[in-house]
Amino acid sequence: MVDTVHVAVYDTLADWEIGYVSAHIADPEWQRNPGRYRVRTVGISAEPVTTKGGLRIVPDTVLADVTPEDSAMLILAGNDIWPTDAFAPFVDKARQFLDAGVPVAAACGATGAFAAAGLLDERPHTSNALEFLQGVGYGGASLYRDEPAVTDGDLITASGIAPVHFARAIFARLDVYEPRVLDAWYALYGERDPRGYYQLMASGS
């Protein structure tokens, strides 16, 4: 059985924040259970969206058709529409996932939308900066962690400039790699340590 990881797509999507996630979930090499997951994009409609990098993406499915029961995780990267009504349906879907006990991962502007909606008031979390979240008016400042990525149960939050940390947290939550393999993956991509590459090669595929 293949589990679906849903990646939300919308205009101004910060595509660099999910590059490691999508590429390595799609690549079976080094995975604990190769082929266990597939990535599918989800948009508010079936109309193409344009990312921050100018890439046009046609969503695989629409938000209304995605349910927690049919998903392994919902991932929301940063964007410029997070303070607007255009992003509200994605926040509502994230709340639905969390209420159902299905993981959600949010980075950058998506965390700002979560903060404004009260989703971070009672959970340890991070974002681009505490001041960024305080600017939207939220009650979770005491639970803010000044770290690149934070996992609290079913919620992962991350800074917009920490795509490797974001990916590592997602891989760990989904159990994509054996712990030693994930450590080697992070050593290579996060710390630029060539020893990580050789450890990955030694782990086999």
Active site residue 108: yes
Cβ atoms 154, 2 nearer than 8 A? no
Beta bridge partners of 57: 49
In the chain (205 residues long), the average pLDDT of successive 10-residue segments reads 95 98 96 96 98 98 98 98 97 98 98 98 97 94 98 98 98 98 98 96 79
* Residue-level pLDDT at 158: 98
The position carrying tokens 């979240």 is 133
Q: SS3 of 137, please?
A: coil
Closest to 167 (Cα-Cα) out of 32, 17, 35? 17
* Residue-level pLDDT at 203: 86
Active-site choice (108, 116, 169, 182) = 108
pTM: predicted TM-score of the whole model, two decimal places: 0.97
**Domain residues of the chain, as ranges?**
3-177
C-alpha span between 107 and 174 (Å, rounded): 17
- Write the CB contacts of 74 (distance below 8 Å, at least 6 apart in sequence): 6, 8, 42, 66, 93, 94, 97, 102, 103, 104, 105
* Residue-level pLDDT at 137: 87
C-alpha span between 20 and 5 (Å, rounded): 14
Task: Just give the CATH number of 3-177.
Answer: 3.40.50.880
